[in-house]
Amino acid sequence: MIVPGRGISFNIMKNIIRKSPLYKSFGYAFQGIWACIRKERNIKIHLGMMTLVIIAGAILRISITEWCICMVLFALVISLEIVNTAIEACVDLVSEERRPLAKLAKDAAAGAVLVSAIFAAIIGLIIFVPKVL
Centroid of chain to Cα 118? 16
Tell me whether residue 81 is one of the annotated catalytic residues: yes
Helix (H) or strand (E) holding 102: helix 100-132
Instruction: Spell out the alpha helix ranges (H) of 2-99.
Output: 10-18, 22-39, 41-60, 64-94
Point out the catalytic residue in the list 40, 66, 81, 96.
81
Which residues, in sequence order, are CB contacts of 67 under 8 Å at separation 6+?
Answer: 57
Cα–Cα distance between 127 and 110 in angstroms, integer?
A: 26
3-class SS letters over 112-126: HHHHHHHHHHHHHHH
Residue 51 CB: number of other CB atoms within 10 A?
10
Supply the residues annotated as catalytic.
81
